[in-house]
Structure formats: structure tokens, C-alpha cells
Structure 1
Amino acid sequence: MLFVVLLAMVAGFLALRLYMVLGKRTGHEQVLPKPAEERAPVTSLPRPIEVSQEPREIANRNIDSRAEAGLRAIVSAESTFDVGQFIEGAQSAYRMILEAYWKGDEESLAWLVNDDVRGAFAEAIAERAAAGHVLDNRLVSIERAMISDASVDGKLARITVRFDADIAAVTRDADGNLVAGSMSDAVETHDVWTFARTLKSSDPNWKLADTDEA
């Protein structure tokens, strides 16, 4: 009987030790992905996630030193902002906006750009259609996307990104005949786009607010 009691005590001790090791989070566990129905929908620019954004994480090769103060101001106002994810999202937005503009897809542009940019794009699309021209462009690659400026004015945050890309640009007429350009020769393109968003708003999307050439 004593032997059984001792075994029970040993088993209880081992169970307690096992709980102390496995029952506590150490910070190194892998988190399983959520089911598809629980995941947040994909947006043109990534939704902010809760990460620690230390000042040392601001400076990297994809950020001009002139933008660091503005980025810190954004992080200070909205600690969930993630610089690395923004750059990735900006590249996705660059591709989506260009492709929508080339196709004349004003519906997609409506939720990717602000009203001013949308109006300018709509005017250019209308002029293109009036001339009977169709763009058959292709974004070959984005060589670099670098944040060149950032600022906060009240609750409005603005981030400027320089895109260095290779684009195959072709213009055809209504019958598909080549008017200009070549699909075999990519053109080096340098665009400077500014994205804007109201901080702490319910809308997590950054929208294109200004375009320029470098």
C-alpha cells in the first residue's frame, strides 16, 4: 500500500513539473494560423498589426534618413503601424493601381486612390478612349521601393515612396495594331507616389494621394 502511495506521489510531482514546463507560454511557441473565415480581408495596403516599433527599426536601406522623423511621428500617434509591412503593401498597391489605370478600371481605382488622383486618372482614361488607344503595358519588376518622406499633420499621415521599376509599355489602336512601344524592351521608370491615411480611423487603408516622376 505504501508503495502505491509513493507511486501516486511521484506521478503527481511529475505531472506538476510537466504543467510548469508546457502549461506556461515561453514566448517561443508557434501560433497556428486562424481559420480562413476568421482572417482579416486583404486590402490594398496591409492592415496595421500590433508590433513593437523601436526607433532602431525605423532606419534601414529602404528608408531615406529625411523620412525617419515623420515615421517616428506616425508610430508615436499609432503604435500599431509597421514600416516593413507598409513598404510591402505599397509595392502591391503600385502594381494594382498601374494595372487598373492601364485597363481603364475606374471601379478598382475608386478604392485605391483619393478623389483628386481618381479625377486625374479618369480624365486620362477618357482622353485615351477618345483617341481609340488601348494600353497593353506590363510591370516587369519593381527594382526598389524606398520611403523618401513622411509627415503627420493633425491626424493626417502622409508617406512618400519612390518606386524604381521596369515597365514594358505598348499602345495599340482599337484594332490591336501597334501605335507605340515594345513588349520586348522594358523601360526604366522612376515614380514618386504619396499615400495618405487618417490615423486611428476605422479605415485601415492607405490611399494614393499624389503622383510625380523622380
Structure 2
Amino acid sequence: MNSIPYIDILILAMIAIFIINRLKNVLGKKTGNEQDIVEKFTQKRSSFKESEPDKTSQTIDTKNKDENSQRKFHKNPKINDSLKNIHALDLNFSIDDFITGAKKAFEFIISNYSQENIKSLKKLLSDEIYDDFDSQIKERNKNKENLDITIISIKDTKIINSKVVKKNTAFITVNFLSEQVQITKNPKGDIIEGDSNQILDISENWTFKRNLKNKDPNWILDTIEESE
């Protein structure tokens, strides 16, 4: 009975030797899939290689230039060429967006000028226009008069001139034909100028200016002239 444990140990030893021999035969043996693994790894690494210059973006740039040369911005050839030049310098420039913005600026500037909110117009006006508005408001305050301007409607808005100066400063002149009621009151509230029941047809040329190299997309009002 005492010899049985030794037999068990002997059997276990033989099994261990058998397993070791099998491992020696298997370890280091090629399976035939090594090349596939290498290729897959190489493909993964190749995806991180520095790409060549993007020919697609170059094609798009060329396409944009071609489209710009064919695009029509205005029926007047001279104005059309100038607006094309502006668009070439600023690809985000849009006639529709500009006209929409000009209308909003027209209403906002007149409203705040009438209400004497001159500081709110500082970033929208050239220094000359700002100083003119400020002087007019101070003169009315001195005389204790109030100007009331109500825009009834903007009947027409059209670009009548455009130019680019020094290769980066753009000027666009817009004619605004609007219906307005303009009255001036004294301290008692009596109307001393104008008629609250009279609607005036006002035609003015507003010239907007913008440095196209400036990141700020907003245009400022540079000059105001009465339309002939």
C-alpha cells in the first residue's frame, strides 16, 4: 500500500515530460498567418503617414475663382467689377446679406439719432459722421428742442456705386428711398417744424466703408448725401 504514492508521482512526472516536449514542438512554429498580421499592421501604420498636398482643396480654390469671375453682382459693369473685386478679397461677402444689413443699419442709426442715443452708434459711424451727429444733438439740447423721426417704410434700396481703395478698403454707396415723418418740438411739446400728418419721401445716399483685411465683418457709415 505504501508503494502507491510513488507510482502516482512517477505517472505525474511522465505526464509533465510529455507536455514539455509538446510545447517545444509548438513554440516558435510558424502558422502561415504571420504575413497577414504583418501586412495588417503595416496598413494601419501607413494610415498615419503624412499626406500629400490636398489636390481637392486646390481644385476648389480654382473653382471658386472661376465662379467669381462668371458671377454677376450688378447690372452696371463698373459697379459689377468692383463688387467682384470685393468678393475676391472676402469670399464671405454677399450682396443679399450686405443689403439686408444696410437696411437694418439705416433704421437703427436714424432711430437712435432721433432718440439721441449717440453712444450706441459709436462703432457704426465714421468719426466725421459721429461728430456731426453729436454736434446736432448738442445744438438741439441747447435750444431745448426734440427731433422725432419715424420711418414709415423703406420703398427702395439699391447700390449706386462701389470701389476698393488701397487694395483693401471697400466703399459701397447705397441709395435709400424711404417714407418718413419728421417733426421738431419745443419744450412744451408743440410742433415747431414739420407736420405729423405729412409723410415725406426721403432719398439719401449712404456710403458704407470696411477694411477687408479686418476680421470684423461689420461695415461703418462713412458719408451721407442727399440724392439729386
Tell me the TM-score normalized by structure 1.
Answer: 0.71
Q: Following the alignment from structure 1 to structure 2, what is the Cα–Cα distance between the partners of residues 149 and 131?
A: 38
Q: Following the alignment from structure 1 to structure 2, what is the Cα–Cα distance between the partners of residues 186 and 171?
A: 14
Q: Deviations over 1:154-184 (max 9, x none)?
A: 2111100000011101110122111111222
1:172 matched to 2:185: yes
Cα RMSD of the aligned pairs, angstroms, is 1.8
Residue 138 of structure 2 aligns with an amino acid whose one-letter code is: A
1:198 matched to 2:186: no
Q: Deviations over 1:126-158 (max 9, x none)?
A: 111111110121011100110001111121111
Tell me the TM-score normalized by structure 2.
Answer: 0.67
Relative contact order: is structure 1 or structure 2 higher (C-alpha 8 Å, sep ≥ 6)?
Answer: 1
Residues 55 and 176 of structure 1, relative CA distance in 2, 3 Å threshold: farther
Query: Which runs of 5 or more residues in structure 2 are unaligned?
Result: 1-66
What percent of counterpart residues are identical?
Answer: 28
Equivalent pairs counted in the alignment come to 161
Asked if structure 1 preserves the Cα contact closer than 8 Å seen for 2:162 and 2:170, the reply is: yes
Residues 81 and 171 of structure 1, relative CA distance in 2, 3 Å threshold: same
- The residue aligned with 1:109 is 121
Give matches, 1:1-150, under 5 Å. Answer: 55-59=70-74, 64-150=76-162
Task: Name the structure with the higher helix share.
Answer: 2
Asked if structure 2 preserves the Cα contact closer than 8 Å seen for 1:66 and 1:148, the reply is: no
Residues 55 and 167 of structure 1, relative CA distance in 2, 3 Å threshold: farther
Query: Which runs of 5 or more residues in structure 1 are unaligned?
Result: 1-51
Asked if structure 2 preserves the Cα contact closer than 8 Å seen for 1:53 and 1:82, the reply is: no
